[in-house]
Structure 1
């Protein structure tokens, strides 16, 4: 067996959260190795990056590469399509109401991963290894990670960005609470006849949200959007069996022909909807970020935005305390405190909203309808809700906050 490669921080996982972790922690003055297979293959998955996430990517020097392939989200429209007796009309949330030109931008996952990989390749303090991390030995003074080709990595800290089944989390003995929903999500990239005008539209149905999110046009298609369609498993089974032209017809009908005639540019997968919450976000010489720590339904674009807040907070904790040891216990405790309320509150909110759509219980419909009516009729309440969803101040690291603030020196 070859001698171990030494580094300060081993990042396990090379999705967007892992690549961002590698880049930001290297910028915070640490030697970082990011391990995991590269994957920039075109898929039907996109991510809506909110204002704070865009600020973070700007500070990391990544945003200039993404801006040309990102579509601004200026309005978020919610349409009650449940058939409830207490349904209200469409409710528009406009970025200008909270002093923004847009809430954020929608970008394809593959483009985000490619931009992060390119930035990481040019970061002197970061190294990249495309092997999987297959095992860990946690000790008082460090941790050794074993890679799939028997390479050994000696580090002071492991950042687990290795997904919902996180081997790092399992090796550290962190328990989880996991659950499932009676739903499947279908993703797709669409081209369509009518322009989206920067409006993201979320139809709330009895089977879950049907969400159309703007994408930039291309030489082949002037008007494009991404789709996330949540439905019952039996509906997913029927949809899977449809020929492409029948499938586009079903999408047009479910969207109430909002975007006119639709073409299926790229169909994605049918993904079972699950939830997961780690009992802790840290252990000895380990920090969890992204889906290694929290998983919930694709509602309100909270998933990756929350994961990027994990990453930014971890970099901030390291930069603020400046421990000689990157796996310092006090630093990890500060990270745990910084993330708990933000993660927990959003997980609860998304869970309640999703489950409220699935029930036909009249009191629940009444409460949901009253809530939407209040948001429509009371501008201060609507603005407060938008700020909390897109510009959280209490739960956000400094680098993501709006307005003048002191940024960590090396970010």
Structure 2
């Protein structure tokens, strides 16, 4: 590890790439680019090792971590998501049928693997510390200067870092994006996500249960053992009363909303709440700058799309920067960055539109929209070809991604008998 004391203001070292941000996308990008042979520096405060939220790493993301040699460490910390069950939890006139998607239909061991963010961050942080080809600077950035052939990154401590390319993974309010003058389209929803972890009496059988309610999804995602993470999307005025409940009262209320499908609940982490919003950068690259993760796109926590979309940014950027398996002389060349932007645009815009449409379809009382959503789930339940198509598109876009061998890596097939899931009374 290198601290800011080792980087005085007079230092003129020209790094190949500076990655800004120590979230999972930023640390993954720094590790992958350093492994590819680039002189890489990671600039950010220490990683968040207290984040009790979870992330479902879809199969392509798990494959990316396998390429980095980290999956053997991560896998024991995860719970596989072998089935995804969607349940209409509304009392509306037209209700969608219950649908269960099974990864066995795609010859996959699992759609993905759910992991606590703090475990993912810790593993990535330790790998970054141990990487001999990666310089780590625990500091914040005070300003940027995008010059003709490099970027000058001025640190809050007074030092400077110079790099041919800046990769911004510094979040939805990205100072790097703002310094480059890249505008965004942003929007908000009349919703707040309450998130926490639960212990429960009944096994989850590696099944994610997603109730569609009039205020948004109520989703229970497996964790190791008899535990699950919960994302409960409610109206803003309902979020604070939930957070203020005593643990026993909150557990009873959440068990009621889950129709007791996992038995008795016990609160394993105090609830946190986050207003739901969306954001799309109007460009994914600028002069000597590439945006990845939430610096480029933000949308509600639906369908495990957020970080996985960011990791596809990472894989795509790495693919463009190592076209022949070795580093390029100038990783910040405009042509490379424009090609990266072009390749990522369809995936980002289609994914953002799909999540937005699904979320808004739950909020509307407009009868034709309810009919369309119900008809779509009915057809998915009855038509295997359509169901498989939707499952594939939910894991990764149909287009082949640069930097990844295939969206669906061939892994040893483990067969597990599908449990009989009781249908809820209508």
Q: Which residue of 2 aligns with 1:239?
A: 242
Q: Residues 172-226 of structure 1, C-alpha deviation per residue, up to 9 Å, x if partnerless?
A: 0000001100000011011110000100011000000000000002xxxxx1000
SS of equivalent to 1:47? strand
Q: Which residue of 1 aligns with 2:284?
A: 281
TM-score w.r.t. length of structure 2: 0.91
Are 2:16 and 1:8 equivalent residues in the alignment?
Answer: yes
Contact 2:49 2:122 in 1 (8 A): no
Q: Which residue of 2 aligns with 1:407?
A: none
Contact 2:49 2:119 in 1 (8 A): no
Contact 2:55 2:114 in 1 (8 A): yes
Supply the distance in 2 between the matched residues of 1:161 and 1:182 (Cα, whole angstroms): 27
Q: Which residue of 1 aligns with 2:168?
A: 160
Supply the distance in 1 between the matched residues of 2:274 and 2:396 (Cα, whole angstroms): 29
SS of equivalent to 1:34? strand
Where structure 1 has 5 or more consecutive residues not aligned to the other structure, the ranges are: 218-222, 405-411
1:130 Cα deviation from its structure 2 partner: 1.1
1:249 Cα deviation from its structure 2 partner: 1.2
TM-score w.r.t. length of structure 1: 0.95
SS of equivalent to 1:266? coil
Picking from 350, 364, 367, the partner of 1:362 is 367
Q: Which moved more, 1:366-375 or 1:262-271?
A: 262-271
Contact 2:77 2:115 in 1 (8 A): yes
Are 2:360 and 1:383 equivalent residues in the alignment?
Answer: no
Contact 1:132 1:148 in 2 (8 A): yes
**Equivalence map 1:224-263=2 (5 Å):** 224-263=227-266
Are 2:62 and 1:54 equivalent residues in the alignment?
Answer: yes
Are 2:339 and 1:334 equivalent residues in the alignment?
Answer: yes
Contact 1:44 1:226 in 2 (8 A): no
Q: How many equivalent pairs are there?
A: 399
Supply the distance in 2 between the matched residues of 1:391 and 1:159 (Cα, whole angstroms): 23
Q: Which moved more, 1:234-243 or 1:136-145?
A: 234-243
Where structure 2 has 5 or more consecutive residues not aligned to the other structure, the ranges are: 1-7, 411-426
**Residues 245 and 403 (structure 1), Cα distance of their counterparts in 2 relative to 1, 3 Å cut:** closer
Q: Which residue of 1 aligns with 2:415?
A: none
Supply the distance in 1 between the matched residues of 2:235 and 2:249 (Cα, whole angstroms): 19
Deviation >4 Å, runs of 4+: none
Contact 1:52 1:400 in 2 (8 A): no
Q: Which residue of 1 aligns with 2:413?
A: none
Contact 1:79 1:204 in 2 (8 A): yes
Supply the distance in 2 between the matched residues of 1:366 and 1:395 (Cα, whole angstroms): 33
Q: Which moved more, 1:57-66 or 1:37-46?
A: 37-46
Supply the distance in 2 between the matched residues of 1:355 and 1:123 (Cα, whole angstroms): 44
Supply the distance in 2 between the matched residues of 1:92 and 1:239 (Cα, whole angstroms): 29
Picking from 342, 352, 359, the partner of 1:347 is 352
Contact 1:186 1:230 in 2 (8 A): yes
Contact 1:55 1:400 in 2 (8 A): no
Q: Residues 140-171 of structure 1, C-alpha deviation per residue, up to 9 Å, x if partnerless?
A: 11001011211100000000000000000000
Q: Which residue of 1 aligns with 2:416?
A: none
Q: Which residue of 1 aligns with 2:72?
A: 64
Contact 1:33 1:129 in 2 (8 A): yes
